Amino acid sequence: MHFGSGVPTVEVADLKDDDFLLDVREDDEWQAGHAEGALHIPISEFVARYGELTEAAPQDGKVNVICRSGGRSAQVAMYLVQQGIDAVNVDGGMQVWAAAGRPVVTDEGKQGFVL
């Protein structure tokens, strides 16, 4: 499946618990609630912090990029694909993640919410 102009996508239901997840939402959104274990690099800081992703991402694995609804993550996923990284946009973002009953937590490990 593809989003917009050829951005590869993945459905929330197809993600496994140990899949690598990159959350590109801003700090206030992340603090309200996020997927446990996700790497957080806000889109506004992404280029400057790109090295953090390349260090954390699995060498031969896929980078699943998520935001609130899928727009920002589609931009980042396309950028990563252009850099030769196997990246996909999580269709529907954290809104679909939460609606599917996937856990949303705060940094303290408490129940979070999608802002």
> By C-alpha distance, which of 63, 98, 101 is closest to 82?
63
Structure tokens at 72: 């920002």
Does 67 qualify as catalytic in the annotation? Answer: yes
Structure tokens at 36: 């446990």
Q: Which is the catalytic residue, given 43, 57, 67, 78?
A: 67
Using DSSP, state whether 12 is helix, strand or coil. Answer: helix
Residue 68 CA to residue 2 CA, distance in Å, equals 18
Q: Residue 57 carries which DSSP code?
A: S
Q: Which residues are catalytic?
A: 67
